[in-house]
Amino acid sequence: MTRVIHTGDTHIGYRQYHSSARRQDFLAAFEAVVSDAIESDVAAVVHAGDLFHDRRPDLPDLLGTLSALRRLEDAGIPFLAIVGNHESTRHGQWLDLFERLGLATRLDDSPTVVGDVAFYGLDHVPPSQRDDLEYAFDSYGAEHAALVAHGLFEPFAYADWDTETVLAESDVDFDAMLLGDNHEPGQTTVRDTWVTYPGSTERASASEREGRGYNLITFADEVDVRRRAIETRPFVYVDVELRDGEGARRVREQLGQHDLTDAVVIVEITGSGEPVTPAAIEEAATENGALIARVTDRREIETDADLDVSFADPDEAVRERLSDLDPSPAAVDIDDTVRSETVADSAVRSAVTERIETRLDAGDLGAATSQEIDPEGVDVEDADAEDSGDGDAVDAGDGDVSGEGQASMGEFR
């Protein structure tokens, strides 16, 4: 029997709402997972990508992460991980540095055996490069096998990666796929294989209302997946439906019914009623102890355009708008290229031109369906361009798929 913690999407370094306190919260959530791992004496901590929020973590975040990894090393608990889209760079990865320091193992197409489980890794691969993948993995000498991967896999929300294809074409008969990228937890079976997300360890978006946590997975006669919660910064959601004649006073009354101490307060206004000034509501919340307050007024506003203004979460507004527009795969590909920090500003024009020409040659400029849109993948970082400016940009990756034939897993390392 082998027990491991499956976590991911820790997004260390995210200065959400431009708040230093929120930035520390993301590191604290990761530290809580490490503490649970040591207390529970698990065989390994398996991280499914996006350890950091972006490619350039600041020194305090790096030092905090190193300290947490040293605690695991001192406890004899290996840290097994892959690279997600938020942290991926064209050349060396932070995970490679941690591996050289003896604090982590970067999973790949060769097995890393812990107990009676062989773990394999599949870093995030952009959709445009997945057709060139060969799911070729080395053989293993363990009772169980698990694939750790980062992406939006079917049948979960916003999926753009065919799980059945991965399992059918793989050289290894996996007992479980331990996934990252989707911030909401979930589990199911595909081709008799457990497929599970642990969810993020902190709320990276106001839309992530459910509590945060990780998976505790036991490999025995059968695979057992259980969810464990961790204590994080409280988010208080105040949903107010205004009637005719009601306004800011009614919203303040609703705020008064909640304990706002040290919380992130998200106010959503619907219905009709009088105009409400978000700044006044936010000030009232902070005066009552809130760390941060944001107001979303979802009522229709008479303008020349049909807009739904969100003061709380620009990410959500962008995702909803993209979903309404239903862009083609080519448009999504171009957006990925423009947002990617692996493409230099001076090279954006040529990179976009090259991708358009490739799609023209392939005849792949048809309209997309709504299933091909990834609202979670268009993440403008809660307007936090100061820290990350890439949104949830799909990394161009290190793999070179321009040549003939298909690329193996290792070529995307």
CATH number of the domain where residue 60 is located? 3.60.21.10
337 within domain boundaries:
yes
Shared-domain flag, residues 291 and 174: no
Answer whether residue 303 shows pLDDT above 50: no
- For 220-270, write each residue's pLDDT tens digit: 999 999 999 999 999 999 999 999 999 999 999 999 999 999 999 999 999
pLDDT, mean of residues 9-37: 97
379 annotated as a binding-site residue: no
408 within domain boundaries:
no
Q: Given this model, what pLDDT does residue 87 score?
A: 79
Shared-domain flag, residues 246 and 213: no
Q: Rounded distance, CA 239 to CA 251, Å?
A: 9
pLDDT, mean of residues 282-311: 77
Least confident of 4-13, 204-213, 297-306: 297-306
- What are the start-end ranges of the E strands in 202-247? 213-219, 223-229, 235-242
Shared-domain flag, residues 272 and 390: no
Quote the DSSP letter at residue 332: H
Shared-domain flag, residues 291 and 354: no
Are 9 and 50 a contacting pair, CB within 8 Å? yes
- What is the average pLDDT score of the chain? 82
Strand partners, 239: 268
Q: Rounded distance, CA 16 to CA 137, Å?
A: 38
Q: Given this model, what pLDDT does residue 92 score?
A: 75
CA atoms within 13 A on the CB side of 382: 19
Q: Comparing 123 with 368, which gets the higher pLDDT?
A: 123
Answer whether residue 326 shows pLDDT above 70: no
Q: How many CB atoms lie within 10 A of CB 255?
A: 21
Tokens of 67: 């300290």
183 annotated as a binding-site residue: yes
Q: Which residue has the tokens 């300290």?
A: 67
3-class DSSP assignment, residue 210: coil
- What CA–CA distances, in Å, run from 307 to 16, 303, 318, 376, 396? 24, 8, 11, 20, 33
Q: Given this model, what pLDDT does residue 29 score?
A: 98
| Secondary structure element (H or E) that encloses residue 266, with its range | strand 264-271
Tokens of 154: 């079917």
| Secondary structure element (H or E) that encloses residue 149, with its range | strand 144-150
Q: Which of 270, 296, 317 is the last residue of a domain?
A: 317
Percent of the chain with pLDDT over 70: 72
Q: Rounded distance, CA 407 to CA 409, Å?
A: 7
pLDDT, mean of residues 316-335: 58
Q: Comparing 334 with 232, which gets the higher pLDDT?
A: 232
18 annotated as a binding-site residue: no
pTM: 0.74
Catalytic residue among 47, 53, 86, 124: 86
Shared-domain flag, residues 6 and 118: yes
| Angle formed by the axes of helices 348-362 and 329-339, nearest 10° | 160
What range defines the domain where residue 366 resides? 321-397
Q: Given this model, what pLDDT does residue 344 score?
A: 53
239 annotated as a binding-site residue: no
Shared-domain flag, residues 240 and 383: no
- For 167-209, write each residue's pLDDT tens digit: 999 999 999 999 999 999 999 999 999 999 999 999 999 999 9
- The count of domains in the chain is 3
Please say if 258 is a catalytic residue.
no
The CA-CA-CA angle for residues 235, 315, 309, to 5°, reads 90
Percent of the chain with pLDDT over 90: 67
Are 158 and 377 a contacting pair, CB within 8 Å? yes
Q: Which of 295, 317, 339 is the last residue of a domain?
A: 317
258 annotated as a binding-site residue: no
Shared-domain flag, residues 142 and 281: no
